[in-house]
A and B are shown apart, each in its own frame.
Chain A
Amino acid sequence: MKSAVILFPGTNRERDMVAALRKVTDAEPIIVWHAETALPDGLDLIVLPGGFSYGDYLRAGAISAHSPIMRDMVRRARAGVPVLGVCNGFQALCEAGLLPGALMRNASLKFVCREVKLEVINARTAFTHLYRPGQVIRCPVAHHDGNYFADATTLDRLDAENRIVLRYAQGTNPNGSQRDIAGIINDAGNILGMMPHPEDLTEPLHGGTDGLALFLSIATAMQEKAA
């Protein structure tokens, strides 16, 4: 699986992401600096990792969403290349208009850094098919702006189209997110944005491996597509 991880000034979780990707593919993930204007050819996955691109200036993800590399990223995403945005990456995908809604300041106004429980609502995506529907997994979160907001029409549509892929399991919503939304997918099913960090629970030394199936899901989906 050929993957690229986009690096913005202020991104700080790209190494965790690369480490997680290395567990599921022999192909070395390619780190691409935001000032580049073209991504490598033949990508099976583009990842926008976590961090604080541009210091969260203006709004989290707002400046990075308009970085030079994003023009090609958006083009590839619209052409169907799978895209995973985690934390700051999710914020940037919303700001770029690839996913609906916005991520606002946590309702508590506090930075949250802890483990939550996630319920896999849609286990039929390329990103989650190795989980069971309704499976509850452990996952770390670390963010200040993870409070998902969209108008009622958009939320109803996400619900009806089964595009809320991950929810904070009951009682663990760390940020006031509407309808306990932790991760959503676009209508074409190739762009997933999520606030929690599955890459940080992928080996026993992390204290668990609940996040690994997400990366294995993508890798096997890509293998099946190639076969």
Chain B
Amino acid sequence: MKARIIVTLKESVLDPQGQAIEGALAALGFAGVASVRQGKIIDIELNDPADAQARLEAMCEKLLANTVIEDYRVEMVSENR
């Protein structure tokens, strides 16, 4: 089974890369962008679906995200699309 982990900086943490992207969008003439936050996506394929959610969350807590500065979200990816 497949899962997608989305890691983003916490709302309370300044995101200079997001701000730089926001500035570049404005420079390109894209109006109406209120804010940009960036993050990363980690796709994981598990051999065994048992306890997938709990195992993936443990992976996030231990390695994939640094919870001092980042939030994470685990999404199960449907196989039949």
A binds B: yes
Given contacts A100-B68, A104-B69, A150-B68, 17 further A-B contacts (CB under 8 A): A58-B64, A62-B63, A62-B66, A66-B63, A102-B66, A102-B68, A102-B69, A104-B13, A105-B16, A107-B14, A107-B16, A108-B16, A109-B16, A149-B68, A149-B69, A176-B14, A176-B16
A109 touches B17 (CB 8 A): yes
Size bracket, chain B contacts: 10 to 19
Residues of chain B within 8 A (CB-CB) of A108 are 16
Q: Which of B41-81 contact A (CB under 8 A)?
A: 62-64, 66, 68-69
Chain B residues at the A interface, C-beta cutoff of 8 Å = 12-14, 16-17, 20, 62-64, 66, 68-69
**Does A22 interact with chain B (Cβ within 8 Å)?**
no
Which A residue's beta carbon lies closest to that of B42? A58
Are A149 and B13 closer than 8 Å at their CB atoms? yes
In Å, the complex CA distance between A58 and B63 comes to 9
A20 to B64, CA, bound (A): 35
Interface residues of A in 39-89 (CB under 8 A from B): 58-59, 62, 66
| Count, A-B residue pairs, CB within 8 A | 33
| Contact code string A125-160 (vs B, CB < 8 Å = 1, else 0) | 000000000000000000000000111000000000
Residue pair A95, B14 in contact (C-beta under 8 Å): no
Nearest chain A CB to B16's CB is how many angstroms away?
A: 5
A101 in the interface, Cβ–Cβ < 8 Å? yes
15 A-B pairs whose Cβ atoms sit less than 8 Å apart in the complex: A58-B64, A62-B66, A66-B63, A94-B68, A95-B66, A102-B69, A104-B13, A104-B69, A105-B17, A107-B16, A109-B16, A109-B17, A109-B20, A149-B69, A176-B16
Chain B residue nearest to A95 in the complex (CB): B66
Quote the shortest CB–CB distance from B52 to chain A (angstroms). 21
Task: Assess A101 versus B16: contact at CB under 8 Å? Given A58-B63, A62-B63, A66-B63.
Answer: no
Closest to B12 in A: A151
Chain B: minimal CB distance from A65 (Å): 9
Contacts of B13 in A (CB 8 A): 104, 149
**In this complex, what residue of A is CB-closest to B9?**
A104
Query: What's the Cα separation between A149 and B16 when bound, in Å?
Result: 13
Residues of A within 8 A of B20 (CB): 109
A152–B13 CA distance with the chains assembled, in angstroms: 11
CA distance in complex: A105, B19 (Å): 13
Looking at B13, B62, B64, B69, which has the most chain A CB atoms within 10 Å of its CB? B69
**Neighbouring B residues of A62 by C-beta, 8 Å:** 63, 66
Which of chain A's residues have a CB closer than 8 A to the CB of B66?
A: 59, 62, 95, 102
